């Protein structure tokens, strides 16, 4: 690598870090405001206009706070864990393009690289759980390991479906392939699998079992405070942003904008903006889910992953392969995908019986259950004598 190249990558990495930090700050504000809207609150209002500076105030607070090291913690693992989560989260962005020209390194094996690095964050969570030497943290860390490893499969399979369609692992080529039809129109099932598995990878509601406050009190992060906790937090939100960005890139057409009238720099700038708009639409969906859904239990989560998502993701690969092999028109794939998706939703909706069957509470009128007036009077007379 030449010196110029080194400088370019160093600057790019710094730029990326700044960009992601800004995005995360915006994301926390949007999430808090969005949740507040769902919950009839106002959210942050005091710091800056409608609380826009709240994320900065929070970041300041976290950095200034005391960084507590539990005396019984495994010191090296404890301090390394935030980095082990954060670095893969950041590394992913090396190959994620914001527009056709706005990418640090456009890898030919982009998707492969992403898959490889997205798996790594599990290690950090387990390290955090182990290093804290806290039972809740260990429980959370192991939950994270189980969950992330099992959802990795449908996640990768959904990526593979897209790669098969495009016949490339290059993210820019994937976006270019969607110039006419976004992949959501061709593989709705793939999108469903990807987003669901993505939510599980992120550990967000309804799959947030590894840091469930009401059960394991924050899971692996329970002992962390101050800047180290902030690093975890940053990584988690970068990952959220990443999943949203990947959803847009792989299924929603990336920065494609039908009939974009400009070219050159203006085109790139507007592409980035349009891309970000799409990302925040996906993020709004994630926030909406967080605002309305309870959390699954670990065994239900595993059952959902292994019994539904994994087979579905394989079916998705098979139908994509069949359509491509026989050269059928793509709308047949859409049709099959939609049928499978409808079947999945039907299965989920009726798995525990219909709404009528679930209603096991009946209301009995009081006059039936009430004792005869004479009995009631007798009882009253009986009790009043001892007074």
Partner 1 sequence: MQVQRQPTQQADTIDLMVNMGPQHPSTHGVFRVVLWIDGERIVRAEPHIGYLHRGSEKLCEGELYSQVITLFDRLDYVSNLNCELAFCLAVEKLMALEIPDRASYIRVILCELNRIASHMLFYGVYGLDTGAMTPILYGFRERERIQALFETVTGARMMHNYIRVGGLRHDLPEDFVPKMAELMDHLKRGVEECDDLLSNNEMFIARTKGIGPISGEDAIEFGVTGPALRAAGVLEDVRISEPYSIYDRFEFGIPVGTYGDCWDRYYVRIEEMRQSMSIIEQAMEQMEPGPTVSALRRITRPPKGETYMRTESPRGDFGVFLVSDGSDKPYRVKVRAPSFANLQALQHLFRNAYVADAVVILGSIDIILGEVDR
Window 223-242: contact mask with partner 1 (x via CB under 8 A): --------------------
Does residue 379 touch partner 1 according to CB under 8 A? yes
Confirm if 316 and 157 have CB atoms less than 8 A apart.
Answer: yes
**Region near partner 1 per CB under 8 A, out of 156-164, 196-204, 233-241, 298-306:** 298-306
Contact positions with partner 1 (CB under 8 A) in 134-163 = 135-136, 139, 143
DSSP string, 179-203: SSS-HHHH-HHHHHHHHHHHHHHHT
Window 268-297: contact mask with partner 1 (x via CB under 8 A): ----------------------xxxxxxxx
**Region near partner 1 per CB under 8 A, out of 161-169, 182-190, 245-253, 372-380:** 372-380
Smallest gap from Cβ 32 to partner 1, in A, equals 12
Q: Which is nearer to partner 1, 322 or 376 (CB)?
A: 376
Q: Which is nearer to partner 1, 332 or 379 (CB)?
A: 379
Among 367, 372, 374, 381, binds partner 1 (CB under 8 A): 367
Smallest gap from Cβ 43 to partner 1, in A, equals 12
Residues 6+ apart with CB under 8 A from 131: 73, 74, 75, 76, 77, 78, 79, 80, 81
Does residue 217 touch partner 1 according to CB under 8 A? yes
Q: Which is nearer to partner 1, 329 or 387 (CB)?
A: 387
Confirm if 220 and 137 have CB atoms less than 8 A apart.
Answer: yes
Among 184, 216, 231, 279, binds partner 1 (CB under 8 A): 216
318 φ/ψ angles, rounded to the nearest 5 degrees: -65, -45
> What is the C-alpha separation between 186 and 323, in angstroms, rounded?
11
Smallest gap from Cβ 171 to partner 1, in A, equals 33
What are the angstrom distances between the C-alpha of 34 and each of 28, 131, 243, 277? 10, 34, 18, 15
Smallest gap from Cβ 85 to partner 1, in A, equals 22
DSSP letter, residue 308: I
Cα atoms found within 13 Å of the Cα of residue 242, Cβ hemisphere only:
26
> What is the C-alpha separation between 258 and 278, in angstroms, rounded?
14
Does residue 205 touch partner 1 according to CB under 8 A? yes
Residues 6+ apart with CB under 8 A from 209: 143, 147, 203, 215, 295, 296, 297, 298, 301
Question: ∠118-124-127 over CA atoms, to 5°?
Answer: 150
Does residue 266 touch partner 1 according to CB under 8 A? no
Binding site for partner 1 (CB under 8 A): 35, 38-41, 135-136, 139, 143, 205-206, 208-209, 212-217, 290-300, 348-349, 352, 355, 358-367, 369-371, 373, 376, 379, 383-384, 386-387
């Amino acid at each position: 690598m030449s010196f110029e190249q080194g400088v370019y990558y160093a600057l790019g990495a710094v730029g990326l870090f700044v960009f992601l930090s800004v995005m995360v700050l915006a994301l926390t504000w949007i999430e808090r405001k969005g949740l507040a809207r769902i919950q009839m609150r106002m959210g942050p209002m005091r710091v800056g206009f409608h609380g826009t500076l709240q994320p900065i105030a929070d970041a300041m607070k976290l950095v200034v706070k005391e960084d507590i090291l539990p005396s019984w913690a495994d010191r090296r693992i404890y301090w390394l864990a935030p980095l082990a989560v954060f670095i893969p989260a950041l590394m992913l962005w090396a190959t994620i393009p914001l527009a056709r020209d706005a990418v640090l390194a456009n890898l030919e094996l982009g998707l492969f690289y992403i898959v490889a690095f997205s798996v790594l964050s599990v290690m950090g969570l387990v390290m955090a759980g182990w290093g804290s030497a806290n039972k809740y943290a260990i429980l959370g860390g192991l939950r994270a390991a189980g969950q992330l490893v099992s959802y990795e499969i449908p996640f990768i399979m959904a990526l593979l479906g897209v790669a098969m369609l495009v016949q490339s692992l290059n993210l820019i080529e994937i976006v270019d392939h969607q110039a006419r039809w976004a992949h959501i129109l061709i593989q709705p099932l793939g999108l469903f699998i990807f987003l669901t598995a993505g939510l599980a990878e992120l550990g967000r509601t309804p799959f947030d079992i590894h840091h469930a406050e009401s059960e394991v009190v924050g899971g692996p992060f329970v002992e962390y405070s101050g800047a180290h906790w902030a690093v975890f937090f940053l990584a988690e939100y970068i990952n959220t942003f990443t999943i949203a960005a990947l959803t847009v890139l792989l299924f929603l057409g990336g920065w494609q904008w039908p009939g974009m009238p400009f070219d050159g720099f203006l085109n790139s700038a507007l592409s980035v903006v349009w891309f970000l708009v799409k990302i925040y639409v996906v993020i709004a969906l994630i926030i909406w889910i967080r605002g309305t859904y309870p959390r699954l239990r670990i065994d239900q989560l595993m059952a959902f992953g292994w019994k539904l998502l994994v087979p579905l993701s394989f079916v998705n690969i098979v139908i994509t392969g069949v359509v491509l092999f026989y050269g059928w028109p793509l709308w047949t794939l859409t049709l099959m995908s939609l049928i499978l998706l409808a079947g999945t939703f039907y299965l989920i909706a009726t798995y525990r019986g219909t709404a009528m069957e679930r209603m096991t509470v009946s209301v009995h009128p009081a006059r039936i259950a009430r004792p005869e007036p004479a009995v009631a009077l007798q009882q009253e007379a009986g009790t009043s004598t001892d007074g």
